[in-house]
Structure 1
Amino acid sequence: MSTTETERGIETEAQLVDLAAYRDAETLTRIEEAARDAVRTTPAGLPDLTTGTVRLDKVDAPAGTPAEDEAGVLEILDERDGWNLRTLIPESLTDPGVWRQRRAEWLNAAGFHALRSPVYLWRAAKVSALGARVGARDAWSYLGATEYGEIADKVRRTKAGPEHIADLRADRRKEAKARRREPLTVYGLTGCTTYTAALLALGETWGWVMAAPVLLPVFGVLYALGRRELIRRQPDGTFALMDTPDFTGAGVLTDEGLNAALRARNVGILKDGEEVTIRGFIAREPGDKASVVRFDLPRSAGKTAKEVAAKREPLAAALAVDAIQLSIRQDGHEGGVYMRVADSHPFGGDPVPSPLETAERWNIWDGAPTFVDETGSITAIELLFFGLLVGAMPRQGKTFTARAAAAAAVLDPLCRMIVADGKGGKDWSATALLAEAYIRGVTEPAVRRLTHVLEDLVGEMEEGYDALFELPDEVCPEGKLTPEITRDHKIYPVVLIIDELQRYLEDEGKEEEDDKLTYGKRIEKALITLAKVGPAVGLIPILASQKPTGDAVPSALRDAIPQRIAHLCATYQMSDSVLGTGSSASGWNAKDLAPAFKGMGIHADETGLRFMRSLLIKLPGFRAICERGRALRIEAGTLAGEAAGQAGRAARVGGILADLIAVFEDRKNPERLATAEILDGLAELDPATWAPAALGVGEEDQATYARTGGTALRKRLDEALDGTDRTLAVRSWTSGGRANGYYLADLRKAAGMG
């Protein structure tokens, strides 16, 4: 910091310190934009059409000096970098969407007038004929001085003498003769004769088709005469040769058409004299397939965007379009509306293939490409932390939708998959290549196995939360799974797919006769727990049901999955059960979807509702995706469960078998172990389950412990191997005494390890 000697002594000079050294790049950009906007409003900015420049030069100051801690300033320099006319040009001249809208209006107007050109020609001919008649009458009246005849008639009615009438007739002849000799009359008659002769000559020489354009001036004059006569006859009347273009049904929205539709009797959003305030201009989307407008409802109307959306069907009728072509949502405040009017049905044509059919791999954190929206854009939905519930009538595409979403998880080698197909067909058979558990059908063993899988998943979910709890806040700041945790700590997302869910929930079977809960209730309880609590640790439910109403799929389960898709439903109650109560009253009713377009539906999430059509993945393409998913998991070392030839339950399906293998390994892998030895090893691994006290046996009573523990062990093994073609039987041998137990070879075979 420098000093200056003054009359008052030595004083420190002012130091300019720039805050740029202490600001991040985003803040600096925002400051610069604000400064430029401010300069445009200054006398130097507006008249010269230039902007100043914000300079944030860092002040060089020695370390440790006060300059480092002093506040800085922003210096605006008057540097003229060039002209900036764009800010003064109206948006209507620079917005491509507005120009597309104008072009659409012009083209539709041209088509409208072209279709009505015969009507216009007939009108012009009628007016021209009137003009010819009026012109001939006026010409004859002028050349014949007919006004004298009218005077003579008036004189005759007054019973004046004949000499007065004779004088009037003489004056008429004299005036008529004078008028016919006037230069203007002679020139006019000569011109008409010449024009007629030239027209006849041209027609004889080049043909009457070539001569037709020469008649246009004549028709123009006659039309003008006829129009003048119409105005004379009806001074207060209106006449137009061409009608005002009507864009109703063309998909091209206009200010007049919008206000007229909102005033329609069955819509009733606006009253007579009220108009909406359009923000900016009506524009056309890229691709020129729809008109888009943002507008504010008049405050006096007291209406909201939700009320406009609830009037979708009558509003579509007023605009002469299908309701599916009309998209309405709130834009900003309650009275702000975004409206999109498509030119045609947005989901016409063939379904769009999924991009995952050709993708080599995918990251589930990037979302799952599942459907196209009304604009034709492919939408990747968020599966992590949201899940997906699909509901519809039979054969309306819910399995295709669930398959399109699941394909993203298939191509992510860090996603574990569990699949239960209540239909029992081939829709999900390809997932057996990589799923830790694939359950097909609703037979008693299949339902029992799904019950055990889900209950084990609940236990694994709790372990996942314990693992996240142990991580530092810097690693797990929000207490939930992140891509970094998945990669570094191997806590993988689990995708649970259940198709035809209602068939499992309706099962009335019990594992034991004295059990209080049926399999269906146990599945329901486990699913509700997983859907409510599991998302934070990566549990992703993808559930599909053709009967998503409360009597089949409980509301507690539906409400726990915030992301839903409804295809064609039988009733509005079914639609509301998927999309949420009151959605039908708001104009979103899956009952009214067109059945001709399979895969079309309504998507609901935390951002609102929208129309969609699911991406297409046929069975051969899905099998190819699953084959790539298996190869990716083999390469990453994440192939597990049934797909890896291991024990037949997912998640913790290998729990008891893995524990048995651990007991053998701890004892140097002997050929066989007695049940008592195995129970001792299991008690060391999991005393809460296998210790004598946990089994209700005294520690001194080894015989009872071996008998009770052996029975519990056989039951756990039967559950683990249920639904597979593998078994593990207890065997007896004699070596220094009779013993019962398990052989290591049998155990490895049952675990799919050899």
Structure 2
Amino acid sequence: MTEHTPGHAHQGDDEPLDLTAFMPPEQLDRLAAEARATVRGTPAGHADLSTGTIDLGDAGLVIEQLDEDLAVHDPGVHGRADARTTLRDWVPELLLNPAARAARRAALEHAAAHHAKHSHVYLGRLGRAWWYGVRYATTNVWGHFTGADSYADDIAKAKALKANKAGGASGNDWVRALKAERAQLGRERRREALPLLGATAATTYVATVLAVAQVWGLVLAGVVLLPAMAALVGYGNREHARRHPDLMPVMHLDSATLAADAPLGKDSFESALKRMGLIKESSEIQLVGLPRAVAINAVEIVVELPDECDLAKLLDKKDKIAQAFRVRPEWLDIRDGDHSAQVVVWMANTNPFGKPFASPLIDEPVRQDAWGRGILIGFNRRGEPVHLKLAHVMVLLGGASRTGKGMLLRNLICGLGLDPRVNIRLCAGAKPGEHRGYAKVCATFFGRRPRRVVALLDAVLAEAYRREEKLEDQARAKFSEKDLDEFPLELVILDEFAQYITATELVPRPGDDEKMMKAGDRIGEQVEELGAFVAALNITVLLSTQDPDAATIPRKFKNNSNARVATRTRSATQTNAILADGATGAGLRAHDIPQDLRGAAIVDIDGADGELIRSAFIEDEHYDGAEPIIDAGYDLRASLGRAPGQFADRIEEWLIARTGETSAAGGPTGSGRPGKPGTAARRLVEILLDAFPVGAAGTPADRVKAADVRLHLVAVDPDRWGPNEGEEPAAYESRIGVELAAALAAELDGTGLVVKPKGGVRFDTGKASGYMRADVETAVNAIRIARK
């Protein structure tokens, strides 16, 4: 504000000069209007004549506006702040936007290909137009030179009257008179200069063609004939259109934009809507901007719809629209635009999920942010990354067997391993060997142990109550990201949850240790209790299950889960069991995901409501693509003191106090088998040495069958060495042989030794493949020396 000029005759020490007292009413009204316009966009929104500052300094009367440039600061005075016209505004979008140029180029290429494929059709139409030209030219010339064109109708009427005996003898006289007049007109026309010149020109042209054909051949004669043929084609097309105005012109090109395989554009989209009955034949859509190529094989347009159509109708008829374009429904994406009548339409002309999306963590395993940005779980049809945010959510993942749940979990756990603010508690309900590679970044990891799941969930509940008391002391409603250092995000993953919810093992009933209940029933109670209140406490529960139904997922947990992912399901009932009741009616039809599209899922999460995605690919069949990511995650955690065993873990401490065993980082062996704290993990060659039988005299055998070694390993660690569900014996033996050889080679790396079974070893029962004790003992001694 400007200071007052001291000592002015009309100014007090603190009171500004009121000029309104000297102004007429009309000037006051004008100033009031300007003041209202000036403050229209201000936070206060209060308009009066005190807006601005009056300065009566030495420079004279100056009225300073708070907003010096109303054209910039006040859109209501001189227009929008960004409405300044520049040279760029005059340049067409096609010249500035590379995506628009690419879309136009694709449209032109399609048009060229379309017309080339229809060239035989156009050639036929050309022949028909030429024939019409010959026929109409011949009949018109004949009629002109004989006068038939002028007297044909009159003679026909006279003959009709004669036939009807309407004129008697006078009818014959009338016909003869008309024919005489026609003959006279024809003689006069044939003596005119123009017919003589035309006949001379035609004779000369024909003679020229014959001469060229005689001297240079028929090919050059055909070239000379082209002008005449073109003239006849044009004449025939024009005459046919004149005589048959209700018919399609003989010579015309089919619209490339209305073809079934046409790229997305105004004409093609409008035609599809009309064919589907979504808009009237008389209606028209309005294109906003130009079509843009947003991917190698995709185009995006923004359109404004007529009044009878809206986004809901388009989504309801999405399958029909895709059919009109001859594409799969998952190749088409329709979203809302800037207002209710505007939609953004995206369409690919090839399968956008046809090529797997490799996880960027494979090449660059950098630190992740599970809370803010979320963990990358896949890509949508547009090629955009989709992240799962784990702030204050419960998560539900389900689908049929072999549909990609494992790969989704793979992406999630690999990403979580790279966020040291997350404690991963992984419980593998089936085939824990699939998750063994994640053990080193898991604060808790074990498999197929319903009783231990009950103990783990009790420990999580105890931690939740402790955190809740902390919030009460601080008078807060929930934890935030700034609390992650003191209260890390606890993520409990119950994989293959159906194995736990149906467990029949008995556990003590809460509040009465003498009474027992099924572990599955207790786990259901715990999950519902956790889902009801722990999301605000930086605790998240993720349930993963296959072939879900209403009985598999606890109802209260499902109601509280606000992040749901469904891979392909077997029925609409299973889809609704994962996503939400009525999800199929809203277009979320996971049971319609193509069977050959493995890894695809419908996600209903923050920022991707009802989005179809395909999980990012991390190699797991030919080699462990997750291993370098997990190693990077472990190194990151270890550098910050957040690797398992490096920090005070209240939940693992609770488990140890309850069970006497730890499952941090998969337990002492890292296989998901809990063990006594501080127990050193035994080497595989040491376990292999125990497989050799001992005779009656206490003397160990010098050889052992490979089959007996497998049985021994299964007894020691069934999760790692046992057969998978439904695995054939031959496939199991082959798999275990490969895994055992690789594990022994890794243990003996650097020693120069190799331990492997030998074929044709003699036993009492015959020859078989087996291990020699001397080889194994040599390997054990080499490792013990290396330890020192």
What TM-score, normalized to structure 1? 0.69
- Given the superposition, is the C-alpha separation of residues 208 and 463 from structure 1 closer, same or farther in structure 2, using an over 3 Å criterion? farther
The answer on whether the counterparts of 2:374 and 2:389 sit within 8 Å (CA) in structure 1 is yes
2:578 aligned partner: 578
How many residue pairs match? The answer is: 604
Decide which moves more: 405-414 or 534-543: 534-543
- Aligned alpha-carbon RMSD (Å): 4.5
- Given the superposition, is the C-alpha separation of residues 523 and 248 from structure 1 closer, same or farther in structure 2, using an over 3 Å criterion? farther
What secondary structure sits across from 2:517 in the alignment? Answer: coil
2:522 aligned partner: 522
What secondary structure sits across from 1:371 in the alignment? Answer: strand
**Aligned partner of 1:631 among 635, 658, 662:** 635
Letter in 1 for 2:118: R
CA distance in 2, matches of 1:340, 1:72: 47
1:175 aligned partner: 188
The answer on whether the counterparts of 1:469 and 1:479 sit within 8 Å (CA) in structure 2 is no
Deviation at 1:13, TM superposition (A): 9.4
Q: In the alignment, is residue 404 of structure 1 matched against residue 411 of structure 2? A: yes
Letter in 1 for 2:321: L
Q: In the alignment, is residue 537 of structure 1 matched against residue 514 of structure 2? A: no
1:128 aligned partner: 130
Question: 1:466-477 counterparts in 2 under 5 A?
Answer: 466-470=469-473
Question: 1:517-666 counterparts in 2 under 5 A?
Answer: 517-607=517-607, 608-619=609-620, 620-641=624-645, 651-655=650-654
CA distance in 1, matches of 2:364, 2:149: 93
The answer on whether the counterparts of 1:249 and 1:321 sit within 8 Å (CA) in structure 2 is no
The answer on whether the counterparts of 1:276 and 1:295 sit within 8 Å (CA) in structure 2 is no
The answer on whether the counterparts of 1:97 and 1:285 sit within 8 Å (CA) in structure 2 is yes
Deviation at 1:633, TM superposition (A): 1.9
- Given the superposition, is the C-alpha separation of residues 205 and 514 from structure 1 closer, same or farther in structure 2, using an over 3 Å criterion? farther
What secondary structure sits across from 2:409 in the alignment? Answer: helix
Q: Deviations over 1:16-43 (max 9, x none)?
A: xxxxxxxxxxxxxxxxxx99x99xxxxx
Question: 1:481-520 counterparts in 2 under 5 A?
Answer: 481-482=480-481, 484-487=482-485, 490-512=486-508, 514-520=514-520
Q: In the alignment, is residue 458 of structure 1 matched against residue 461 of structure 2? A: yes
What secondary structure sits across from 1:390 in the alignment? Answer: strand
CA distance in 1, matches of 2:227, 2:360: 62
Deviation at 1:386, TM superposition (A): 2.7
2:332 aligned partner: 326
Letter in 2 for 1:124: L
The answer on whether the counterparts of 2:5 and 2:56 sit within 8 Å (CA) in structure 1 is no
Q: In the alignment, is residue 227 of structure 1 matched against residue 237 of structure 2? A: yes
2:676 aligned partner: 726
The answer on whether the counterparts of 1:277 and 1:296 sit within 8 Å (CA) in structure 2 is yes
Q: Deviations over 1:709-734 (max 9, x none)?
A: xxxx8x653799995333899xxxxx
What secondary structure sits across from 1:357 in the alignment? Answer: coil
1:432 aligned partner: 439
The answer on whether the counterparts of 1:568 and 1:590 sit within 8 Å (CA) in structure 2 is yes
Q: In the alignment, is residue 253 of structure 1 matched against residue 286 of structure 2? A: no
What secondary structure sits across from 2:346 in the alignment? Answer: strand
The answer on whether the counterparts of 2:408 and 2:599 sit within 8 Å (CA) in structure 1 is yes
1:738 aligned partner: none
- Given the superposition, is the C-alpha separation of residues 10 and 567 from structure 1 closer, same or farther in structure 2, using an over 3 Å criterion? closer
- Given the superposition, is the C-alpha separation of residues 298 and 456 from structure 1 closer, same or farther in structure 2, using an over 3 Å criterion? same
Q: Deviations over 1:127-165 (max 9, x none)?
A: 111111221233344456667997999899955599989
**Aligned partner of 1:218 among 212, 228, 231:** 228
5+ residue gaps, structure 2, are 19-36, 42-51, 58-63, 73-77, 160-168, 680-788
CA distance in 1, matches of 2:529, 2:175: 120
CA distance in 2, matches of 1:504, 1:557: 15
CA distance in 2, matches of 1:637, 1:105: 58
- Given the superposition, is the C-alpha separation of residues 621 and 60 from structure 1 closer, same or farther in structure 2, using an over 3 Å criterion? farther
Q: Deviations over 1:662-686 (max 9, x none)?
A: xxxxxxxxxxxxxxxxxxxxxxxxx
**Aligned partner of 2:316 among 305, 310, 321:** 310
5+ residue gaps, structure 1, are 16-33, 39-56, 63-69, 658-712, 730-754
The answer on whether the counterparts of 1:252 and 1:343 sit within 8 Å (CA) in structure 2 is yes
The answer on whether the counterparts of 1:100 and 1:283 sit within 8 Å (CA) in structure 2 is no
Q: In the alignment, is residue 340 of structure 1 matched against residue 343 of structure 2? A: no
Q: In the alignment, is residue 74 of structure 1 matched against residue 17 of structure 2? A: no
What secondary structure sits across from 2:494 in the alignment? Answer: strand
- Given the superposition, is the C-alpha separation of residues 652 and 395 from structure 1 closer, same or farther in structure 2, using an over 3 Å criterion? same
CA distance in 1, matches of 2:662, 2:150: 122
Deviation at 1:563, TM superposition (A): 1.2
Q: Deviations over 1:210-231 (max 9, x none)?
A: 6655444222211232123323
Q: Deviations over 1:331-353 (max 9, x none)?
A: 4666654433332322113x111
What secondary structure sits across from 1:569 in the alignment? Answer: coil
Deviation at 1:602, TM superposition (A): 1.0
Deviation at 1:2, TM superposition (A): 6.1
- Given the superposition, is the C-alpha separation of residues 167 and 574 from structure 1 closer, same or farther in structure 2, using an over 3 Å criterion? closer
1:717 aligned partner: 660
Letter in 2 for 1:133: R
**Aligned partner of 1:395 among 377, 397, 402:** 402
- Given the superposition, is the C-alpha separation of residues 158 and 414 from structure 1 closer, same or farther in structure 2, using an over 3 Å criterion? closer
2:427 aligned partner: 420
What secondary structure sits across from 2:116 in the alignment? Answer: helix
Question: 1:38-49 counterparts in 2 under 5 A?
Answer: none
CA distance in 1, matches of 2:375, 2:53: 46
Deviation at 1:83, TM superposition (A): 6.5
1:118 aligned partner: 120
CA distance in 1, matches of 2:443, 2:111: 62
The answer on whether the counterparts of 1:433 and 1:630 sit within 8 Å (CA) in structure 2 is yes
CA distance in 2, matches of 1:640, 1:6: 78
CA distance in 2, matches of 1:61, 1:10: 12
CA distance in 2, matches of 1:430, 1:717: 24
- Given the superposition, is the C-alpha separation of residues 213 and 505 from structure 1 closer, same or farther in structure 2, using an over 3 Å criterion? farther
The answer on whether the counterparts of 2:394 and 2:560 sit within 8 Å (CA) in structure 1 is no
Deviation at 1:613, TM superposition (A): 0.5
What secondary structure sits across from 1:426 in the alignment? Answer: helix
The answer on whether the counterparts of 1:419 and 1:497 sit within 8 Å (CA) in structure 2 is yes
What secondary structure sits across from 1:391 in the alignment? Answer: strand
- Given the superposition, is the C-alpha separation of residues 460 and 146 from structure 1 closer, same or farther in structure 2, using an over 3 Å criterion? closer
- Given the superposition, is the C-alpha separation of residues 532 and 268 from structure 1 closer, same or farther in structure 2, using an over 3 Å criterion? farther
Letter in 2 for 1:558: K
What secondary structure sits across from 2:660 in the alignment? Answer: helix
CA distance in 2, matches of 1:291, 1:235: 38
CA distance in 2, matches of 1:533, 1:615: 32
CA distance in 1, matches of 2:558, 2:498: 12
